[in-house]
Amino acid sequence: MKKLLLATVALGFAAALTPANAVPIVGNTLAVNFWNGPGNGVATNANNQALPTNPLTGGATATGTITLPLTGLKLAEPPGNSIGTFLTSGGAAFACSNATCTGLLPTVISTAPYATTTLFQFIGSFATAGSGAIMHDDGISIFQSGMNIIPGNAAPTDPVNTPYMAAAGSFNLWYAEANGLPAILNTDLTPTTAPEPASLALLGAGLLGLGVFYRRRRTS
């Protein structure tokens, strides 16, 4: 009977504390900076690279915040081809923090052949270490502690799935949309949320079992 009670306790705690998402972020909001400008007609041009060294960052910075749904950061350009429709796709909510941002939201996100480019910087923090993958068109990079943890993926590309391994802590996700639609940034970055009712029930069962075990132990 003692072994059964201990097993119940262990099951309750394990089920309640197991994270629902493999790579959660802290909270459900990311800071966003973005810049729009010429791609200069060449894929290899520095303006088309998803890097903090992109020359577009020397211009006026549009700033805002993106609030993620439970499904996480999954952006894809719907009909409209604008920066604003991209940032509010996938159930996300976006709010500007300055006038530059407000003015750029109706702007076309990118045009071929590498004529117009938009560079995005998403800033947040991983709640835990983990691994995952990001589907993207065009280039991406992820910087942690000044180091790109997925080197070689910053250039424009057709839709491709890129794996990564990240440490817990702050990150900068750079994304460049450089050559017309499609614009895809489909990540597995999901927000941390309060425990679901079922998880809370399991946690309660674990605590109850623990109490019963120690009570029987004291009276025996």
Q: Does the pLDDT of residue 197 top 60, yes or no?
A: no
Same structural domain, 15 and 44:
no
Number of domains in the chain: 2
Same structural domain, 40 and 4:
no
Same structural domain, 171 and 146:
yes
The per-residue pLDDT for range 88-110, each reduced to its tens digit, is 999 999 999 999 999 999 999 99
Same structural domain, 14 and 35:
no
Compute the distance between CA of residue 114 and CA of residue 22 in angstroms, rounded to an integer.
Answer: 35
Same structural domain, 140 and 188:
yes
**Which amino acid appears at position 158 of this protein?**
D
Say what the pTM is.
Answer: 0.80
Same structural domain, 87 and 134:
yes
The per-residue pLDDT for range 133-189, each reduced to its tens digit, is 999 999 999 999 999 999 999 999 999 999 999 999 999 999 999 999 899 999 999
Same structural domain, 188 and 96:
yes
Same structural domain, 15 and 30:
no
Range of the domain at 5: 1-20+196-220
